[in-house]
Amino acid sequence: MSTPAPPLVVKVGGSLFDRVASLIEVFHEVGRPVLIVPGGGKFVELVRRLAVPETPAHWMAIAGMEQFGWYIASHGVPATPILALPAETTVLLPYCALREADPLPHSWNVTSDTIAAWVAKELSADLLLLKSVDGIHHRRRLLSRVEDPGIISDEVDPTFIRFVFEHGLVARVVNGRHSDRLRQALRDETVIGTLLDPRF
């Protein structure tokens, strides 16, 4: 009998707004406990357009993540403000935990990508970033693995890669528009995407 896979932190990007129901179906099908960190998407676009100073923008954007979290919860997923590994698919409402810890710079260089990495670090869990891109590209080539923490990529926020390397996290960036890739990632199988694993 195989050992059950440990809980996983999964950031669901705001660009996957139209895919939420399908993603949840796959989470339930695979059965691995998942703590969803919601992206910001359309809830944060307005904050960017308002051009308010960085500290108010930081908290407004995290409040936007929380709105997306409630939208995910509306599909029958339990929601929690508590930073803890779940026993089932659960969505994190991140505002209170981040207000209490205030662990990250108040800057547009930090988005839900790095916030999800911080959650994974706090919970000593691996991280899966679901986006609408196939992974991290460098010089127009999809990287199967990132080995240089100095790489600059448009696919993740400017702080994310460095944060992952500094804290020794295992993270994977996968296209959430492909259910088969999500299944493979949840099962820790080889999958099209980008792996960040600073331990090796």
Question: What range does the domain containing 131 cover?
Answer: 8-196
Residue 73: inside a domain: yes
Rounded CA separation 12/176 (Å): 8
Instruction: Tell me which H or E stretch contains 55.
Output: helix 54-73
Does 18 or 51 have the greater pLDDT score? 18
> Is 47 inside any structural domain?
yes
Out of 88-92, 143-147, 148-152, pick the least confident. Answer: 148-152
Domain count, the chain: 1
Rounded CA separation 82/85 (Å): 9
**1 occurs within a structural domain:** no
Tell me, what CATH number does 134's domain have? 3.40.1160.10
In a domain, 2, yes or no: no
20: in domain: yes
Range 94-110 average pLDDT: 96
Is 3 contained in some domain?
no
Please check the confidence at residue 3 and state whether its pLDDT lies above 90. Answer: no
Structural element, H or E, at residue 98: helix 95-101
Q: Say if pTM beats, i.e. exceeds, 0.75.
A: yes
